[in-house]
């Protein structure tokens, strides 16, 4: 007897699986106490686009700031990673000037980067909470070895006082716009 083949490849979850998983992970993130001051909402009622707000991590340059971001999930989530983009203007070596975040956990396994071991890249067992924890960690400890924003990386390395002033100015500006 032949097994009936699914219309979807086994490596791509069905839309209903993705929706169920995203609902569960959204609820878990809303209930989580791991990340201080996090707030999550849906953009246009879409489970595939989350509005995220969170306070800057304690004991970092970003402490006292309040940041808004968008996390978008692909249709084949969790097989492919979400994207994360700050809506608040940021100055950081690992954040592009348009707000997109560049960290290993958001890179797919098949993306070539000889500076990232496969175990640091996206895997389907990871969650949006894991992404946020990584982003909070990134704010605390920038990786200047592979900067997304080269100018911020150079300033962070060579002129740390100017870097700190610029970050503080952006945080103050963001707080004024709340």
CA dihedral defined by 52, 57, 63, 67, rounded to 10 degrees? -10
Tokens 């000037």 belong to which residue?
Answer: 97
What is the C-alpha to C-alpha distance for residues 97 and 133, in angstroms, rounded to an integer? 21
112-139 exposure pattern, b = at least 16 Cβ within 10 A, e = fewer: eeeeeeeeebbeeebbbbebbbbbbebb
Q: Is 137 a catalytic residue?
A: no
Secondary structure in 3-state letters for 9-67: CCCCCCHHHHHHHHHHHHHHHHHCCCCCCCEEEEECCEEEEEEEEEECCCCCCCCCCEE
**Catalytic: which of 102, 132, 138, 167?**
102
Known catalytic residues are 102
């Amino acid at each position: 007897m032949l097994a009936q083949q699914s219309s979807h490849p086994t490596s791509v979850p069905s839309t209903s699986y993705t929706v169920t998983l995203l609902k569960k992970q959204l609820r878990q993130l809303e209930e989580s106490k791991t990340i201080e001051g996090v707030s999550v909402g849906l953009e246009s009622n879409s489970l595939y686009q989350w509005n995220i707000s969170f306070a800057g991590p304690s004991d970092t340059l970003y402490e006292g700031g309040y940041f808004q971001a968008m996390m978008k999930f692909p249709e084949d989530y969790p097989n492919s990673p979400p994207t994360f983009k700050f809506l608040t203007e940021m100055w950081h070596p690992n954040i592009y000037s348009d707000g997109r975040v560049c960290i290993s956990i958001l890179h797919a396994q098949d993306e070539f980067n000889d500076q990232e071991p496969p175990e640091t890249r996206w895997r389907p067992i990871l969650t949006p909470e894991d992404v946020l924890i990584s982003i909070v960690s990134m704010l605390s400890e920038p990786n200047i070895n592979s900067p997304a924003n080269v100018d911020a990386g150079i300033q962070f390395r060579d002129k740390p006082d100017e870097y700190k002033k610029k970050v503080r100015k952006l945080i103050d500006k963001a707080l004024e716009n709340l």
